[in-house]
Amino acid sequence: MNGRLSVIGLGPGDARWLTPEAEIALAGAAALYGYGPYLDRVPLRPGQERYPSGNREEAARAAAALHHAADGGLTVDRVAAGATDRTSDVAGALSGGCHVALVCGGDPGVFAMAAAVCAEIERGPAVWREIELQIVPGITAMLAVAARVGAPLGHDFCALSLSDNLKPWEVIERRLDAAAAAGFVIALYNPVSRARPWQLAAAFERLARQLPWSCPVVFGRAVGRDDEAVQVTTLAAAQHCAAEFAADMATLVIVGSAETRVVTRQGQSPLVYTPREALRSA
């Protein structure tokens, strides 16, 4: 038994942001699990199995990867075929498990698979607690988007998912209010999806109750990929910009604090930064 599961952050879409640690973990794994488009970013290796899954199957994907790591993959086909007897688990126990990798975009610990894996370990069979769990950090989207425009996260900031699939919208509103009132810069993950078309506009409206209309807002989509797009605007124009920009699930939005500044540069895109000093009382 035992086995090993590496939960690997691939970073945003550019291979130049993939760390050597992630490369090593990917190369050593017998099987790869992940959301299809993330798996597609990993070069094929002979003998390495692949189990792509859909976007909203986090718990099942985490459980499948843990199961595979614990039993060495002997039961994967049987589980898929609906087998329920324990014969193959005995074989798995004899196999000593294997090294499975579960890949994520960005960092696995930020609105990604690491929490889902921990939750499955907590609620799953005792043997899953014996698996060697390795979390491989990656460049998360807010760091990549911030880097493209300067240093908007240069002082205290927060990261907030706008998805109300897993928490009530009222919780999101209270967090937006608290973050804006306290002077945090705010990185918004999962700002828009087909099923959640109105939340981003509602968030901008909510933030404008506490922040100046001139507050800088940064949109970054698919940063590091060929279709990368980055735009700097103001809170006043943010909703209009979101529509024009076609903000989607691959978009990250950074809303500055009252102290965030924009520096214009002739012939270059403007810089956005939040000074390290916070002299005014929040």
Q: Which is nearer to a second copy, 8 or 39 (CB)?
A: 8
End-to-end CA distance of the chain: 54
Tell me the three state secondary structure of residue 30: coil
Q: Which is nearer to a second copy, 171 or 243 (CB)?
A: 171
Q: Which is nearer to a second copy, 180 or 235 (CB)?
A: 180
Q: Which is nearer to a second copy, 79 or 278 (CB)?
A: 278
Residue with tokens 């425009």, as numbered in its chain: 149
Q: Shortest approach of a second copy to residue 78 CB, angstroms? A: 27
Helix (H) or strand (E) holding 185: strand 185-189
| Nearest alpha-carbon partner for 117 in 70, 82, 80, 163 | 70
CA angle centred on 13, ends 9 and 15, rounded to 5°: 80
Q: Shortest approach of a second copy to residue 198 CB, angstroms? A: 20
Q: Shortest approach of a second copy to residue 46 CB, angstroms? A: 24
Q: Shortest approach of a second copy to residue 19 CB, angstroms? A: 5
Q: Shortest approach of a second copy to residue 249 CB, angstroms? A: 15
Q: Which is nearer to a second copy, 91 or 147 (CB)?
A: 147
Radius of gyration over alpha carbons of the chain, in Å?
21
Residue with tokens 């294997």, as numbered in its chain: 98
Residue type, 203: A
Query: Do residues 233 and 241 make contact, with C-beta atoms less than 8 angstroms apart?
Result: yes
